[in-house]
Chains A and B, each alone.
Chain A
Amino acid sequence: MTVDEDLVPDVRPEAVPDDAFTVLGRAPGEAPRAQVVAHLTEAARLVRRRDIQMVRAAGLGHIGGEFSVIDILVTLYLAAMNVSPDQLGDPDRDRFILSKGHAAAALYTTLAMAGFLPPEQLGTFMQPMSQLNGHPARTKIAAVEASTGPLGHGLPIAVGTAFAGKLDGSARRTFVVVGDGELQEGSNWEALMTAGNHRLSHLCVIVDRNRLQQGARVADTNDLEPLADKLAAFGMDVVEVDGHDHGALLDAFADVPAASGRPTAVIAHTDKGHPISFMSDNVAWHHKVPSAEQVAQALAELENR
């Protein structure tokens, strides 16, 4: 398959459709599960709408990996994690680290959906002097726990954060999302050894298993399989879920910390570019920027879901 490398097409902001972004905030705590899932589904739809428009306006972004991870981010920030905008100074807040930092637009949009960022700020994505850098920076945004971008950094940091929680006897949990291609970086396996050996039970490693990396399929590049066996061998409790199924993700995250006392690894099976017909599972959409027509089509597809 040929990979389209056109990073910066001719962007015409006037061609970007008007945004309709409503901050839904957290799913109601005591609501029936079906209502929570409906809340997350709608939030994910709005996040994807905003994300694709941000990428279009910036002329840069990683739309494929953003659309694969959005359901995970929305589930964490709007339901699973014990963290809120007025609680960022609480040492016992749950932590989230996006190790695949190139999906920054998805994180920013989710943070706005959860009330951590003013939605207007999303319009500055990658503009000069914006706080919304192409990769998230903890010195620029209070809700960002770790600056990421180069792959293989977030998981060791998450291990340290979880280690600190263990030393303090804190109930807080640390969630980290790594890309599957990212697991080719050796630092992740150093960190997984540390996590397993020290039984960091409050650590949850989420693998965004979209099977694609920048230039090709992971399996055709430097295969990870048998991934579940490898993670288990490193001392994780491994669960595999549909990474676009909010209910399944909720269940997986609710089981952290695992009764076994081991850290949890959630292999979230996703599709890059999900659920847009022309992007989904298509390696060309790692960092391709959609045309105005493609944005319109994607928005129409999202409207009908």
Chain B
Amino acid sequence: MTATIDAGASERVLHDCRDAWVATLVELAEADDRVVAVVNDSVGSSKLGPFAERFPDRLVNVGIAEQDMVGVGAGLANGGKVPFVSAASCFLTARAMEQVKVDAAYSQHHMVLVGQSPGMAYGELGPTHHSIEDLAWLRTIPGLTVAAPCDPAETAQVLRWAAAHDGPVFVRVARMGVPDVVPEGYRFEPGKAVTLREGADVTLVATGIAVSRALDAADVLAAEGVDARVLSMPTVKPLDEAALVAAARETAGIVTVEEALTSGLGGAVAELLVTRQPAPMRFVGVPDTFAPTGSVQWLLEHFGITAAGIAAAARDLLGR
């Protein structure tokens, strides 16, 4: 599914990353008969129709039972399968947190936890269905890779990497429209930032759907004579320590940007830099609050997770 928005002068195509998710899963399943999907009645919301049609036996639907879903995923891994456990991120992480901790991470099972429609994608449905906490929660769990890809190409790459990685991985899959971001020939590596734009004045570090917004903010800043570096951080855990330390050293400071509580990426970057290369920081994301009612677009504007909001944070950091 695609849509367009007016991004200033040009119109650009926006993608639902779930399309890349299901296409990649089908591709992986064709190549490897160990690949199975585990869901909690979430075939529709995970857009798994094409997989269900193609591999009906390899779709394990446990019904509305998230603890069972993650435990069954771990058992399938024990039984030699490569399970992709897919559910709305709010339920996958919060309802089954102990299973994520114990059955996936502590047990070091080769399994992929796919958090669908994360952040505030379910806008008007409210904080019960938002998953603004997932990055902050999961980055504290040892042994778990936590990824938030920024566009369809990166989503596909993260999933392919996770399928081959002998350990547990959590992947956010965005439903909110995002433009293509990563360059041609890009190869995802966990803990490896992507420098999308060089800059010497300030660094914008973003993850997930916020990455394209950080790029837009850099355009806004450039028009004002501010030269912003843009780092895409596809994994909140592990972080790219070298890229962050270099950015903190080479620019005036760091603005983190995420569609999540700022204790996710922002907290992680701050924890790293405070010991390695202290630098002024600003945090763009959701502060310590549950979101009010509103569409996802409205909420992103409300919390300043927009080109204007990010640029304002950068100006504030620079004292301009």
Contacts and interface: CB of A to CB of B under 8 A. Distances in A.
A, B from the same assembly: yes
Interface in B215-229: none
Interface string A156-189: 1111111111011000001000000000001100
B75 A163 contact: yes
Interface of B: 36, 38, 57-58, 60, 62-63, 65, 67-68, 70-81, 83, 98-99, 102-103, 106-108
A215 interface: no
A191 B71 contact: yes
Nearest to A91: B80
A79 interface: no
Interface stretch (A14-22, A103-111, A142-150): A142-150
A158 B99 CA distance: 13
A167 B57 contact: yes
B102 A160 contact: no
A95 B75 CA distance: 10
Interface string A185-201: 01100110110000000
29 contacts: A91-B79, A145-B78, A146-B103, A152-B67, A153-B98, A156-B70, A156-B74, A156-B103, A157-B74, A157-B75, A158-B75, A159-B68, A159-B72, A160-B60, A160-B73, A160-B75, A160-B78, A160-B83, A164-B80, A164-B81, A165-B79, A168-B79, A174-B75, A186-B67, A187-B99, A190-B62, A190-B67, A191-B72, A194-B68
Contacts of A167: 36, 57-58, 79, 81
Contacts of B103: 146-147, 153, 156-157
A296 B239 CA distance: 55
A137 interface: yes
A139 interface: yes
B82 to A, nearest CB: 10
B67 A156 contact: yes
Contacts of A163: 60, 72, 75-76, 79
A277 B98 CA distance: 38
Contacts of B63: 190, 193-194
Contacts of B102: 147-150, 153
B79 A164 contact: yes
Q: Which 9 A-B pairs have the closest CB atoms?
A: A160-B75, A164-B79, A156-B71, A190-B68, A160-B72, A190-B65, A187-B67, A161-B75, A157-B75
A230 interface: no
A138 interface: yes
A174 B107 CA distance: 18
Contact of B74 (A152, A160, A194): A160
Contacts of A164: 36, 75-76, 78-81
A147 B107 CA distance: 6
B80 A168 contact: yes
Most chain A beta carbons < 10 A, residue from B68, B73, B74, B80? B68
A91 B76 CA distance: 12
Given A139-B108, A162-B75, 14 more contacts: A146-B103, A153-B71, A153-B99, A157-B74, A159-B71, A161-B76, A163-B79, A164-B80, A167-B57, A190-B62, A190-B67, A190-B68, A193-B63, A194-B72
A95 B80 CA distance: 12
A137 B143 CA distance: 14
Nearest to B65: A190
Contacts of A186: 67
A149 B106 CA distance: 11
B68 A146 contact: no
A146 B72 contact: no
A301 B80 CA distance: 45
Most chain B beta carbons < 10 A, residue from A138, A167, A186? A167
A187 B71 contact: yes
Nearest to B36: A167
Most chain B beta carbons < 10 A, residue from A150, A153, A165? A153
Contacts of A95: 78-79
A193 B65 contact: yes
B67 A157 contact: no
A151 to B, nearest CB: 10
Contact of B68 (A91, A138, A149, A191): A191
B99 to A, nearest CB: 7
A191 B107 CA distance: 19
Contacts of B83: 160
Contacts of B70: 156
A280 B31 CA distance: 55
A250 to B, nearest CB: 25
A160 B107 contact: no
A266 to B, nearest CB: 19
Contacts of B72: 156-157, 159-160, 163, 191, 194
Given A137-B106, A159-B75, A150 B68 contact: no
A190 B69 CA distance: 9
